[in-house]
Amino acid sequence: MGRDLGVPTGSLGWLVAIGQLGYLAGLVLLVPLGDVLDRRRLITVHLALVAAGLAVTAVAPLAWTAFAGLAAAGVFAVVVQTTVAYTASISPPGEAGRNLGIVTSGVVIGILGARIIAGVLADVWGWRSIYLTLAVLAAVLAVLVRTALPADARPDTAVRYGRLLRSFGVMFTRPVFLGRGLIAFFLFASFGALWSGMALPLAGAPWHLSQTQIGLFGVAGLAGALGAARSGRWGDGGHARRVTGLALALLAVSWAAIGQLTWSLPLLVLGVILLDFAVQAVHVSNQHTLAGAYPGRTSTAIGAYMVFYSLGSAAGAAATTALFDVAGWTGPTVLGAVLALCALATWALSPNPAPAARPLPSKSPTPATRHQAKA
């Protein structure tokens, strides 16, 4: 893409980061709507708009056009978070963690599986075919969602959009939420340091791998992500905090193997499996904790949490290509390991989640509720 569109090597990370920044805007402005509108309808509309952004990217003649398409696709790709909140809202009691684990594994399988397919498509038909294929798939999904998914719980339509956005901001004053959010920031910055930069050394000496061969490393990531599907059940059993700590320690260890990329591909594969397992186990545990803590504002809580994800992924993607340009693979390796240790330190210092957090403000109090508060 960089060669075709004239993007210099040091700026290649922005091809990923621009989508993440669009994603950040969508998290703030769109995901909270799931608490006041029909989530099934939101999922349908957002998938259709993702398809439009991907189609623009596929036919982009210039770099700025591709960036615009990627940004638009990123804004409406928050359909994933609306889907997570939708899953939590329709899950029977005691099964939310299990179902979130399944959905999150599905998301990761899509992300990493797309890397494998993208490598093949890029070699056969060029990078534009990837975005065209994804645009078609997103459009088909929009139709399937509207016709196949069950109806969501009745939304709280009495809440105004402005008040909803204010409740979004209130989230950032909650200690448990902030702890989980900062863990997510460091977690996904470490994740981005690997997946946004790994193609550069693998395409160069001594490996000189093709796009298809590089894409096959997604198989290793799939193995780790599938293993993490069970972490939701551990969360249902009350072990979310312990799972998070163990997984973050494993994330730090994974970088010792990933750092050997320049001479050992088997060690790289091992590191990728460990990293993806750790990232998804923590991610599922975080979402399970927040869905349980804020049951009346699940979309708002998940959307606010994913702000940290978006910022971390964008920072990791942009930093890793710049560091590789200066220090080779050593730069991204040190960065990824330090970020993992920062996440582990945040977990150690963060408070234990309470069984349920105080509900976020949504409506003006009625006379009855004011009387109850005085009592």
Report if residue 366 sits inside a domain.
Answer: no
User: Encoding tokens for residue 153?
Assistant: 């719980």
For residues 79 and 97, what is the distance between their CA atoms, to the nearest angstrom?
19
The one-character DSSP state at 45 is: H
Report if residue 363 sits inside a domain.
Answer: no
Q: What is the pLDDT of residues 89-124, one digit of tens each?
A: 888 877 777 888 888 878 878 877 777 788 788 778
Cβ-proximal residues to 327 (8 Å cutoff; 6+ apart), any chain: none
Count: domains in the chain: 1
Give me the pLDDT at residue 48, please: 95
For residues 160 and 364, what is the distance between their CA atoms, to the nearest angstrom?
11
pTM for the model: 0.76
Angle, helix 265-293 to helix 79-90, in steps of 10 degrees? 60
Report if residue 359 sits inside a domain.
Answer: no
Q: How far is CA 328 from the centre of its chain?
A: 26
Q: Confidence class of residue 154 from pLDDT cuts 50, 70 and 90?
A: low
Mean pLDDT of all residues in 302-306: 89
For residues 155 and 285, what is the distance between their CA atoms, to the nearest angstrom?
25
**Domain that residue 168 falls in:** 2-153+160-353
Report if residue 365 sits inside a domain.
Answer: no
Candidate from 76-80, 140-144, 371-375 with smallest mean pLDDT:
371-375
Give me the pLDDT at residue 237, please: 73
Q: What is the pLDDT of residues 42-97, one digit of tens each?
A: 999 999 999 999 999 998 888 888 888 999 999 999 999 899 888 888 888 777 77
| CATH number where 280 lies | 1.20.1250.20
Report if residue 364 sits inside a domain.
Answer: no
Q: Which residue type, as a one-letter code, is found at position 233?
A: R
Q: What is the mean pLDDT of the chain?
A: 83
For residues 191 and 274, what is the distance between their CA atoms, to the nearest angstrom?
11
pLDDT: is 272 or 363 the higher one?
272
